[in-house]
Amino acid sequence: MFRRRDLDRPVEAAHRLSAGRLTLEVAGGSVIGNRYLENFDVLHLDPELPLVAVADGMGDGEGSRVAGRTAITTLVDRIRAGWPAVGAAQLRAATADTQLRVRQAGAALSGLTGCTLTALVVEPDGGQGWLVQLGDSRAYRLRDGLLELITVDHTMAWLGVVHGWWPATSPEAARARYQLLRYVGHPDKPEPDVLAVPLRTGDTWLLCTDGVSDQLGYHRLRDLLAARRDPARTTTALLGATLDEGGDDNATAVVVRVHPALPGPR
């Protein structure tokens, strides 16, 4: 094992995005970790729209790299093209196009071309947020001190644990973590989970790849998100903690804090 602790994408100062009655304070970053020589995670923090997304390529080959970049680029382009209309129908259509583009990109490659995808987009008036989920990257919400996992992992491990086939810490569950049932690039082009998620002032959202969630337990995640840090400092702390735990995977995190809208000029 080699040791590599530098940030693949340095965490910049948090920036603010307007969404009607809300202001979103956003920061994100990514670390390569100690397992891979490259980072196959992809991160998007939109500079203008209330939109963030993460993708995690499957494997460590060219298909992994192509899938993540193609998925994020296509989804973002589709959302931008339809703005300000955003809702379940638009997001399902955008994800269907994302599936198509990743499949087309992978046709010329010999290996698997696939990735996970988790995105959060907020309607322009701030009245509604939407999550798009394929795979086992995750979205968490911290509200009033309670950290909740809002998304579901599309893996055989999740099914096995939920239905009592095996304990969560068993060897069977560990092997089943790598059996993804839905992902971008899947030959059957499965539909995503599209979830309506109202946002409330004071909420903190975390979108992350499994390089974060697999290495940091529930209480560690909650404590890091609840600490009095801005999103950039929180992201830096999260990514640093994954390295402290061994850096066994690429790790990517986006932290979104929800504030009231900034007062306009008088």
Number of structural domains the chain divides into: 1
* Residue 262 belongs to a domain: no
Residue 252: name the closest of 198, 214, 200 by CA: 214
How far is CA 171 from each of CA 176, 189, 212, rounded to the nearest angstrom? 9, 29, 20
Predicted structure pTM score: 0.95
Domain that holds residue 117: 7-257
Is 263 contained in some domain?
Answer: no
Using alpha carbons, select from 79, 75, 214, 68 the residue that is nearest to residue 136.
214
Rounded Cα–Cα distance for residues 64 and 66 (Å): 6
Residue 97 covered by a domain: yes
Cα angle at 138 between 136 and 139, to 5 degrees? 155
Mean pLDDT split into 10-residue runs, the chain, 266 residues:
53 94 97 94 98 96 97 98 97 98 95 96 96 98 98 97 94 94 97 97 98 97 94 97 96 97 67
Q: Is 1 within the bounds of a domain?
A: no
Report pLDDT for 8.
62
Q: Can you give the CATH number for the domain in which 109 is found? A: 3.60.40.10
Predicted pLDDT at 244: 96
**Does 185 reside within a domain?**
yes
Q: Quick check: is 153 in a domain?
A: yes
- Kindly state whether residue 266 falls inside one of the protein's structural domains: no
Q: Is residue 84 part of a domain?
A: yes
Q: Which two tokens stand for residue 19?
A: 């969404």
pLDDT given for residue 3 in this prediction: 46
